[in-house]
Chains A and B, each alone.
Chain A
Amino acid sequence: MTQHVVECQGVSRTYQDDAVPVHALRDVDFAVDSGEFVSLAGPSGSGKSTLLHVIGGLDRPNAGAITVDGEDINALGDSELADLRLNKIGFVFQAYNLIPVLSAQENVEFIMQLQGIDAAERGDRALGTLDSLGMRDLADRRPGEMSGGQQQRVAIARAIVTNPVLLLADEPSANLDTGTTGELLELLKRLNKERGVTILTATHDPMVMGYASRQVHLRDGEIVSE
């Protein structure tokens, strides 16, 4: 029996918008195995981001059970969810979401710092990861001094440097040009192949879908095809 990294059973998420319920997710059954590179596809509003959010513990489902690396998310409090994100999940958001007052290297070290890893090891790992993304020379720059593609690479470095069980990426290529997107995807693929990082990404971008090992299509909050 293989252990699923992510397992969703009967997950629903309903938003109450002006008294009209919006069903962002309806009774979704979904699983991701270790080492997979899964891409969520579907039209705008189909629930891709919502699914990533409930899996990442940023949002809570109205119904259904979710386990991440064997942990039942519904059973966790806010602080425990924070710990889960800290220790098991790497996030890459559409808007890179770097900490503006920290340099690239410090941003990459941030999560390790929260984890309590000592300075020497942090520095080595951060520089090593930045190096593997071709960003070593920019280690001392702050986010404001980098291009979008560079910032996204720092965000990815930050997400993977701690070897998370799961990497969640929501529209990672939305703000990037085609060339940069290609590089980014190669990078994700390499991470998936070489480091065995499990990746779950949501995207409109056909280029991203092409790189994934499996595609899942959503429509109106339901999985329509795999």
Chain B
Amino acid sequence: MPLKLLLQLSWRNLWRHRRRNGIMVLAIALAVTGVMLMNTLMRGMAAEMREAAIDNLTGHIKVIHPGYMADPGIGRGFEPEQGWEQALADVPVAGWAQRVRVPAVIMSERETRGVQLVGVDPAQETISFLGSLSVDGEALSGAEDRRIIVGATLAEQLETSVGRRLVIMTQGADGLNREAGYRIAGTYDADSNALEKVFVFTGAQTVARLLESPAVTEVSLRLESDDDIPLALAELGAVFEDLDVKAWQDLEPQVASMVLVADFGLYIMYFVIMGALVFGLVNALVTAVMERVRELGMLRALGMRPRSVVAQVVVESTLVMTAGVVAGLALAVVCYLPFSGGIDLSAFSETMQMMGVRNIFTPRLEVADMVIVFVLSLVLGVLASLYPARRAVKVTPLDAMRR
């Protein structure tokens, strides 16, 4: 049967029941829009968490001592060889930073808190949230800076402020406690309160002097893209033979699984919502086919092959599905565009900050997801029509025409 005739007949049959088919198209469109919009939120959320995880001193890849995770401290430090970064010449690297990070106790005149003391070279920290931090007071001037910056929330808890002094106590490489006083250069305001409570920054040399050790506890690396992770892992593994070289997915497994959930979430939402809809579609198609049994029987009596009759019903169903999906995707894009630059959540920032989400939330509508939804829908449209179509050719043309 010529395709053109098939399409022509299907098209006109669809118009014959434009009301019923219109409702079907609308229902599919709304379902698709719903799925896509929920998906943009989930994708946005996952991307945000991923960005945040990478920003929060993790980077794409981190080199640490194998025992550091279980027992963090300068005892698990190492000294990278000069020029180790040459090994990465053929990997697109955005930047890297060497840090010394140890657990410490910080004390004001009134309060004491457990924190992570992080010695950094501010010039290297363009790769982490430190680089774009808004600091009240002054930022660190370099690796030699002997002042500290603390989170705004921590400063509040310690009932202290910029310019005052705090005492930091930690364990040196020899296992003995070290203690020193530092002046607060500034307080920082991060996206998450949890960060502000945990990280206290100062110059890397300052921490080295306190711990009496030139070692670092981590090398963090930021790449241009996730795709380069395997290559970078391999090359770093060769340089830091006795150390652990880990990708962010290993370091932040909860976040990695959240990103994975977002990937699957599309399918789950799609099948829950569209699954219900497909029942409606099958039902509408069965009705449409039963109404036309006589006519379809006549087509066969005139010499149309059974499989062409099946094809006609399948094409009709697929056209309805396609119209619905295209309209739904278009509607999703229209709804998404005004928010593509981000949604200002500062009104809810307290709760959101607890969840590690920034004030500006950016939903993400991904073309790949739209393609997936489109293809899945076509497949569903075909599957949904097979049963009604088979019913159409189950009766003989003669029986069909008698009705």
A79-B307 contact given A58-B397, A101-B9, A116-B2, CB 8 Å threshold: yes
Q: Which residues of B contact A85 (CB under 8 A)?
A: 301-303
What residues of B have a CB within 8 angstroms of the CB of A84 in the complex? 303
Residues of A within 8 A of B304 (CB): 82, 86, 114
CB distance from A105 to the nearest CB of B (A): 13
Complex contact A101–B16 (CB within 8 A) = yes
Chain B residues closer than 8 Å to A101, beta-carbon distance: 9, 12-13, 15-16
CB pair A93 B401 closer than 8 Å:
yes
B306 close to A (CB within 8 Å): yes
A194 at interface by CB-CB < 8 Å: no
Can you name the residue of chain B whose Cβ is closest to the Cβ of A158?
B302
Q: Chain A residues near B2: list those with CB within 8 A.
A: 113-114, 116
Chain B residues with CB under 8 A of A102: 9, 12
**Contact: A111 with B302, CB < 8 Å?**
yes
How does the 8 Å CB contact mask read for A49-85 relative to B, with 1 for contact and 0 for none? 0000100101100000000000000000011001111
Instruction: Report if A59-B398 is in contact (Cβ < 8 Å); known contacts: A100-B16, A101-B13.
Output: yes
Residues of B within 8 A of A93 (CB): 298, 301, 401
* CB neighbors of A among B1-43 (8 A): 1-2, 5, 9, 12-13, 15-16
Complex alpha-carbon distance, A59 and B307, angstroms: 19
- B177 contacts chain A at the CB level, 8 A cutoff: no
- For residue A145, give the distance in angstroms from its CB to the closest CB of chain B: 14
- 4 more contacts with CB within 8 A, not counting A82-B300, A93-B401, are A78-B306, A93-B301, A111-B302, A111-B303
Which of B295, B303, B396 sits near A99, CB closer than 8 Å? B295
Question: How far in angstroms is the closest Cβ of chain B from A225?
Answer: 27
| List of A residues within 8 angstroms of B269 by Cβ | none
Report the Cα distance A93→B306, complex, angstroms: 20
- Shortest CB distance B66–A (Å): 70
**17 sample A-B contacts, Cβ–Cβ < 8 Å, listed by A number:** A59-B398, A82-B300, A82-B303, A82-B304, A82-B305, A86-B302, A86-B304, A91-B302, A93-B298, A93-B401, A97-B298, A99-B299, A102-B12, A110-B302, A111-B303, A113-B2, A114-B308
A56 CB contacts on chain B under 8 angstroms: 301
Chain B residues, Cβ within 8 Å of A86: 302-304
How many A-B pairs have beta carbons closer than 8 Å: the answer is: 65
Q: Is A34 at the interface (CB under 8 A from chain B)? A: no
CA–CA, A59 and B302, complex, Å? 14
Contacts of B306 in A (CB 8 A): 78-79, 82
- Nearest B residue to A49, CB-CB: B398
Q: How far is the CA of A97 from the CA of B1 in the complex (A)?
A: 20
Roughly how many angstroms separate A86 CA and B299 CA in the complex, as a whole number? 10
**For the complex, is A87 an interface residue (Cβ under 8 Å from B)?**
yes
Chain A's closest residue to B16 (CB) is: A101
Q: Which of B254-308 contact A (CB under 8 A)?
A: 295, 298-308
Cα–Cα, bound, A100→B296 (Å): 11
From the candidates B1, B295, B301, B307, name the one contacting A91 in the complex (CB within 8 A).
B301
Which chain A positions have C-beta within 8 A of B5?
110, 113-114
Interface positions, chain B 160-216, Cβ under 8 Å from A, are: none
Once the chains bind, are A97 and B401 in contact (CB under 8 Å)? Answer: yes
Q: Is the CB of A87 within 8 A of B303?
A: yes
* Distance, CA A99 to CA B9, complexed state (A): 9
In the assembly, what is the distance between CA of A102 and CA of B5, in Å? 11
Q: How far is the CB of B107 from chain A (nearest CB, A)?
A: 86
A residues in contact with B302, CB < 8 Å: 85-86, 91, 110-111, 114, 158
Q: B16, A53: Cβ atoms under 8 Å? A: no
- Pairwise interchain contact A58-B295, C-beta atoms closer than 8 A: no
Measured CA separation A101–B6 after assembly (Å): 13
* Contact A58/B299 with A102-B12, A113-B2 known, Cβ cut-off 8 Å: no
Chain B residue, CB-CB nearest to A59: B398
A79 B305 Cβ-Cβ under 8 A: yes
- Taken together as a complex, chains A and B put the C-alpha atoms of A36 and B16 apart, in Å, by 41
In angstroms, Cα B171 to Cα A53, docked, is 100
* CB of B174 to closest CB in A, whole Å: 90
Q: In the complex, which residue of chain B has the Cβ closest to the Cβ of A53?
A: B398
Say whether, besides A86-B302, A101-B16, A114 and B307 are in contact (CB < 8 Å).
no
Question: Are B396 and A58 in contact, CB atoms less than 8 angstroms apart?
Answer: yes
Enumerate chain B residues within 8 angstroms of A79, measured Cβ to Cβ: 305-307
**In the complex, per-residue mask of B295-337: 1 if CB is within 8 Å of any chain A CB, else 0:** 1001111111111100000000000000000000000000000
Question: Considering residues A83, A102, A114, which has the most beta carbons from chain B within 10 angstroms of its beta carbon?
Answer: A114
CB-based contact A59/B299 at 8 Å: no
Contacts of A87 in B (CB 8 A): 303
Complex Cα distance, B5 from A91, in Å, reads 20
Minimal beta-carbon separation of A122 from chain B (angstroms): 11
User: What residue of chain A has the Cβ atom nearest to residue B300's Cβ?
Assistant: A82
In the complex formed, the residue of A with least CB distance to B10 is A101
Chain A residues 147 to 178 lying within 8 A of chain B, measured CB to CB, are 158
